[in-house]
């Protein structure tokens, strides 16, 4: 692919074909963060990073076993991307996040993944600042309360201070800040969180997003974030962009989509995912942003060939930076099994191994080979 260097500002603006790579939302981002953003764009047509939420912390039937990973147990390799969650860090003297993972251990897991060349993404199921209840409390007014002049504004900025403190403690072996794909206010077009479209206007949401970025970037000097705009279902370009805060505040665009029906009887997931990915393709070019599939999966993966015949067949025609599978909680208190990647003996294990061997699926070794944190 022909490349001609134009200038080096914030991100490193270059031509790729006829396309200019836009500058980062944070013009003062660290060298490693700029390099990661640039390289994620560079490898878009080369392969897709495979990610897994909470991969190193626990899996089906285990927790905190050094070096263990359900992905690694099946494939022999760790994922190329690791998902984590800030939820709980906003508490005073936080110990555990929303998934019961120690923040101290999470910091170590993040460093371990980064040191192996992997990429880190972090979401934030933050509490409703108005009520103090969890993220799924859809009491109206949480967004307004968090904004400057709102009744919970001081509380919200204190939460951001704690996010900043944790993020600035993420350091590599040379004391460099570890880059993070930060995915705040995720699934924003849904109706199940206090920041989603049923609880605030589009303008109110944009104000919250911009304030959050400005505060973390400019006041707290968090310069290791790449900002990921993330929606749930959408049926049109306008619906996807209704709450988009502007190119100066976003680096990547994404959406979440899960299989919930039997793919042998109902192809609505494939049709819907294909439609949304095609729209994401167009939006990524229009907005000059890097596309990703923020979350996906099929709980308990009962269809043995889901990985190759459903997931990969659907996403492979599209230029995606990564796909993140949700977490392997295992047996829940209600007796329900909750997991999204196979473990040894699971019915889709062999098909998952087949996916692992595909040339354009990047687990740890292929991700490391991309040297994502180095200058191209």
Residue 295's DSSP bridge partners are 256
| Under 8 Å between Cβ of 167 and 224 | yes
> Strand runs (DSSP E) across 151-224, as ranges?
180-183
| Under 8 Å between Cβ of 48 and 320 | yes
Six-digit token string for 181:
């794909």
For residue 108, what pLDDT is reported? 98
For residue 335, what pLDDT is reported? 86
Quick one: residue 276, left, alpha or beta (phi over 0 = left, psi -120 to 50 = alpha)?
A: alpha
| Under 8 Å between Cβ of 30 and 300 | no
What mean pLDDT value characterizes the chain? 94
Q: Tell me the DSSP string of 236-289.
A: SHHHHHTT---GGG-SEEEEEEEE-S-TTT--HHHHHHHHHHHHHHHHHHHHT-
Burial of 227 (0-12, 13-18, 19+ CB in 10 A): buried
For residue 18, what pLDDT is reported? 33
pTM of the full structure? 0.94
Sign of the torsion formed by the C-alpha atoms of 343, 347, 350 and 351 = negative
Low-confidence ranges of the chain (pLDDT < 70): 1-22
For residue 20, what pLDDT is reported? 35
For residue 333, what pLDDT is reported? 87
| Domains and their CATH numbers in the chain | 27-369 (3.20.20.80)
Q: Tell me the DSSP string of 301-333.
A: --STTIIIIIIIHHHTTS--SEEEE----EE-T
Nearest one of 287, 277, 288, 265 to 312, comparing CA atoms: 277
Q: Distances in Å between the alpha carbon of 261 and those of 7, 173, 211, 331? A: 49, 45, 39, 21
pLDDT tens digits for range 239-254: 999 999 999 999 999 9
For residue 144, what pLDDT is reported? 98
C-alpha–C-alpha distance, residues 303 and 158, integer Å? 45
């Amino acid at each position: 692919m022909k490349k001609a260097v134009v200038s080096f500002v914030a991100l490193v603006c270059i031509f790729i074909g006829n396309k200019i790579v836009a500058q980062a939302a944070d013009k003062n981002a660290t060298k490693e963060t700029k390099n990661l953003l640039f390289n994620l764009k560079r490898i878009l047509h080369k392969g897709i990073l495979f990610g897994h939420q909470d991969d190193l912390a626990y899996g089906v039937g285990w927790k905190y076993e050094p070096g263990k990973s359900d992905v690694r147990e099946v494939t022999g390799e760790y994922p190329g991307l690791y998902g984590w969650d800030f939820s709980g860090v906003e508490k005073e003297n936080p110990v555990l996040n929303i998934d019961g993972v120690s923040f101290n251990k999470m910091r170590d897991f993040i460093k371990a993944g980064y040191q192996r060349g992997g990429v880190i993404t972090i979401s934030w199921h933050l509490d409703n600042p108005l009520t103090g209840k969890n993220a799924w409390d859809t009491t109206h007014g949480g967004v307004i309360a968090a904004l400057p002049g709102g009744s919970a504004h001081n509380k919200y900025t204190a939460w951001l201070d704690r996010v900043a403190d944790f993020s600035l403690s993420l350091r590599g072996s040379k004391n460099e800040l570890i880059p993070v794909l930060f995915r705040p206010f995720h699934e924003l077009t849904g109706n199940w969180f206090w920041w989603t479209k049923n609880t605030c206007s589009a303008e109110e949401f944009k104000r919250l997003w911009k304030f959050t970025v400005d505060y973390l970037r400019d006041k707290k000097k968090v310069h290791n974030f790449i900002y990921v705009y993330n929606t749930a279902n959408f049926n049109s370009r306008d619906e996807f962009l209704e709450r988009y805060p502007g190119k100066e505040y976003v680096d990547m665009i994404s959406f979440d989509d899960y299989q919930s029906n039997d793919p042998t009887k109902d192809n609505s997931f494939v049709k819907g995912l294909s439609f949304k990915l095609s729209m994401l393709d167009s939006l990524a070019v229009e907005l000059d942003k890097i596309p990703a599939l923020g979350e996906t999966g099929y709980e308990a993966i009962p269809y043995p060939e889901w990985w190759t015949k459903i997931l990969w067949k659907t996403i492979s025609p599209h230029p995606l930076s990564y796909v993140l599978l949700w977490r392997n909680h295992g047996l829940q208190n209600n007796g329900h099994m909750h997991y999204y990647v196979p473990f040894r003996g699971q019915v889709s294990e062999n098909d998952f191994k087949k996916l692992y061997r595909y040339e354009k699926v990047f687990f740890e070794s292929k991700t490391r080979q991309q040297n994502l944190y180095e200058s191209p």
